[in-house]
Amino acid sequence: MGERVKSILVFGATGQVATEIRRFEGVTALSRAEADLSNPSACAAIIAQTTADAVINVAAYTAVDQAETDTEMAFRVNSKTPAAMAEVAAKRGLPFVHVSTDYVFNGSGSAPWVEDGPTGPLGVYGASKLAGEQGVQAAGGPYAILRTSWVVSSHGRNFVKTMLRLGAEHDTLDIVADQVGGPTCARDIAACLMEVASQLTVDISKTGIYHFAGGPDVSWAEFAREIFAQAGISCDVVDITSSEFPTPALRPGNSRMDCRKITNVFGVQRPDWRASLTNILTDLKAI
């Protein structure tokens, strides 16, 4: 692993990944009050004045269903602002690391998605994130786009915490079993971002798009069963289809992502989400 970069400016302070990345030394994390991602020029101005060695953007519009009707805001936060930020970073020669999502794919088939595979978002959220990727690439500076999936942690709102609450309240739960992907712990993502930023600072040839997700791939129903097993909760999981649990925005059925590239280029291994889940449950017990 590379030597840690001394100073990193992070957009985002309270989200799952932002909360974890704030644990690292040399990080200056900006809250929404300090950096409003709905204001592209204001965020770009911050980068223009920063003394940091690299910039990481973990802030985003992540309300997948709400994005279907709040389209303009989703595109502003997820596309226009990252593009404006990346343009200024490029002018200053600062590496720009940006978090994206499995939702840029259409979720077809069963093969893991590779970085240069065909994209095809199913909804506004995925389309806005894809447009953000394209804006970052067009800026022309050193960048790394990290696509990840199914983010969980001991804080914020996420699937693990929801299952712990519902599992304690019910004897059985109907959980979608035809969506498959890699649960990814926010702490693992934060560590990955720091490593990528550090290496990109000294070797801009590593510029590109990378996939990073927990393994092995599972369905939401299988994920729920493991959560209950590790937490000691007696709740039966009943497999259902996505059509039996309709949502305003379509979810990709196949969110499997090929993570070999990031290992080959940065030496970052795909984490085992089951071990990360154990750590999350330990953290929750300590709260």
At 233 the three-state DSSP class reads: coil
Q: Pick from 148, 164, 174: which is nearest to 257 by CA?
A: 148
What is the predicted pLDDT for the residue at 212?
Answer: 98
What is the predicted pLDDT for the residue at 160?
Answer: 97
pLDDT in tens, 190-223: 999 999 999 999 999 999 999 999 999 999 999 9
What is the predicted pLDDT for the residue at 6?
Answer: 79
| One-letter amino acid of 193 | L
> What's the rounded Cα separation, in Å, for the pair 213 and 146?
10
What is the predicted pLDDT for the residue at 98?
Answer: 98
Q: Is the pLDDT of residue 189 over 70?
A: yes
What are the structural domains, with CATH classification, of the chain? 8-158+183-215+256-272 (3.40.50.720)
| Percent of the chain residues past pLDDT 70, beyond the cut | 99
Residues 6+ apart with CB under 8 A from 96: 54, 55, 57, 85, 86, 89, 90, 136, 139, 141, 142, 143, 144
Q: How much helix, strand and coil, in percent to the nearest 5, is found in the chain?
A: 45, 20, 40
| Region at 131 (left for phi over 0; alpha for psi -120 to 50; beta for the rest) | alpha
Q: Pick from 183, 166, 158, 284: which is nearest to 228 by CA?
A: 166
Residues 6+ apart with CB under 8 A from 139: 83, 86, 87, 89, 90, 96
Q: Pick from 207, 200, 81: which is nearest to 137 by CA?
A: 207
Interval 227-240 mean pLDDT: 97
What is the predicted pLDDT for the residue at 2?
Answer: 53
Q: Catalytic residue positions?
A: 125
pLDDT in tens, 39-98: 999 999 999 999 999 999 999 999 999 999 999 999 999 999 999 999 999 999 999 999
What is the predicted pLDDT for the residue at 286?
Answer: 87
For residues 212 and 146, is the Cβ–Cβ distance under 8 A? yes
Q: Is the pLDDT of residue 140 over 90?
A: yes
What is the predicted pLDDT for the residue at 222?
Answer: 98
For residues 82 and 135, is the Cβ–Cβ distance under 8 A? yes
What is the predicted pLDDT for the residue at 3?
Answer: 61
Chain CA centroid to CA 108, Å: 20
What is the predicted pLDDT for the residue at 287?
Answer: 76
For residues 152 and 186, is the Cβ–Cβ distance under 8 A? yes
